[in-house]
Chain A
Amino acid sequence: MRKMLKLLLRKRAVTPVISSVILTGAVVAVSFVVLSWTQYRSSAYNEQYGDAMDADIAQLKERLTFEYTFYNGTQDNLLVYLMNSGTIDNVTIQTVYVKNSTWFKTFSESDFDLKFFNETSTPSLDVGEEGYFVLSSLDDLVADTSYSVRVITKRGSTFDQAFIA
């Protein structure tokens, strides 16, 4: 009992112990901060990479078939009939180009109205669905000249079809 009391009352070497404890605590704390930061960074990378991969996969699944492209010379408009022959739903058309080697015109999403064959408007086409849109104000197309229409989807896929004006 006496020995124990004596040991407790001895104050020599207390400082190094305290400093060691503080140092160890600081090192452990910093390690955990570094660990959680590294984990955060790696999961952010994973998420980014996953999103990019999902987008690539979705793009791979997209396929639009041109059923018919009809240029109406009297009304100066182009009717494009499409079918979603891919394996993914919600194919949305973002931009359409009409062009040939010397001329081109761009149509954004707001310039045309995608519709089903029964005239109902739709923002996108699901698998197997057919739809069409009309591109108007194509009065500068030259008759009997070859043009191509390029459809770009929101996922970034492009599909081309040639037609004669």
Chain B
Amino acid sequence: MIANSKGFSAVIGTVFMVLVMMFLSTSVFLWTLSQNTLYNQELKEKNQVELDRLNERVTASSVNYTGSAGTISVQVELENNGASAVHITTLWVMDATVKKYGFNDTLDLNLKPGNKTYLTGENAVDVNIAGANATDTLNSWFVTTRGNNVPLEKDQSVIVAQLAQGIGSLAMDFSSFKYYEVTGKQLGSPQSGFSIPGDIPIVFSMYLTNLDEHYTKVNLTALSLLWLYPAAGAKTAKFPIAKVVNQTLATFDFQILEFGKPTKLFFGTDKTTAGNVKGTLCAANLLLYGKIGADDYGQNIPFVSVYVQS
């Protein structure tokens, strides 16, 4: 039977045909499978991207709008509370009062997980909106590279600001009321300002915080001063606002008070003394004058008593 070669070629032909068919179908099947794998891989990556986007947790708080005449300066505190790094590209500001909007797409902020950044002072973000004012109703949001919008949230400090409106926009930290003895232009070490020497040049200092309801900057001029006057007698003592750089008196130009930022102010010169009111208990008034935004501003803070040693 083995030696009988009849029909042998048919068997070989069939086997050959089956092999060819198997080769073709297997190659098509494997190729299709590889394409499906590619698709599934891409689907997984897409899901990961969506997951990363959903897990982005950035909070923008302590928002403060300043500026006027079409340029709104946005000060904000940004914190990345998520697990992945965040890249922020654009800030949008919508002015609901004038129904206009603007954006700043030059931001290039990278926030690592847990990182906090303060966009205040020089780092504040400016947005141009024609006809907009900081006192308008403003809504704003950041846009991240992953496509999330981060709304800017106004915090509760506005309540404090509203309260401060009862007495004025500037609040004084009484515990920071100090004086420095002046030698030449150099300031000595700080001492409690409630009892001061009467016959040597001194400079007062204290922290003031701008709690303006509309978060507008206050700019104090050289007219501002600290005024000491006793309960009896016509003599008084005046200490003009001063600038101190590295514990040294410098020429005063102006003093900016940004919203919510405690700022140390100095009053006095290398020659100012309280010699006129020696041995008396004086009322101390802070006479502050300057601009709030584009408008004039004046405030008197009268709550300190100072004893001038004889």
Residues on A facing B (Cβ under 8 Å): 27, 31, 35, 38-39, 42, 45-46, 49-50, 53, 56-57, 60-61, 63, 65, 67-68, 70, 81, 83, 85, 87, 117, 128, 130
Contact = CB atoms under 8 A, between A and B. Distances in A.
Nearest to A117: B105
Interface stretch (B28-36, B61-69, B210-218): B28-36
B24 A39 contact: yes
Interface string B145-158: 11111000000000
Interface string B216-234: 0000000000000000000
B38 interface: yes
B39 A53 contact: yes
A120 to B, nearest CB: 13
B211 to A, nearest CB: 31
A89 to B, nearest CB: 15
B20 A35 contact: yes
Contacts of B32: 46, 49
Contacts of B145: 85, 128
B194 interface: no
A70 B99 CA distance: 10
Contacts of A31: 17
Given A53-B38, A117-B105, A67 B31 contact: no
A87 B31 contact: no
Given A70-B101, A128-B89, A46 B143 contact: no
Interface of B: 13, 17, 20, 24, 27-28, 31-32, 35-36, 38-39, 42-43, 45-46, 49, 53, 89-90, 92, 94, 101, 103, 105, 143, 145-149
B91 to A, nearest CB: 10
A49 B35 contact: yes
Nearest 4 Cβ contacts at the A-B interface: A85-B147, A65-B147, A57-B42, A53-B35
A60 B31 CA distance: 21
A60 B20 contact: no
B46 A61 contact: yes
13 contacts: A31-B17, A42-B24, A45-B28, A53-B38, A53-B39, A60-B46, A65-B148, A67-B143, A81-B103, A85-B53, A85-B147, A117-B105, A130-B105
A27 B42 CA distance: 46
Nearest to B100: A70
Contacts of A67: 90, 92, 103, 143, 149
Contacts of B89: 83, 128, 130
Nearest to A68: B92
A80 B28 CA distance: 45
Contacts of B49: 63, 87
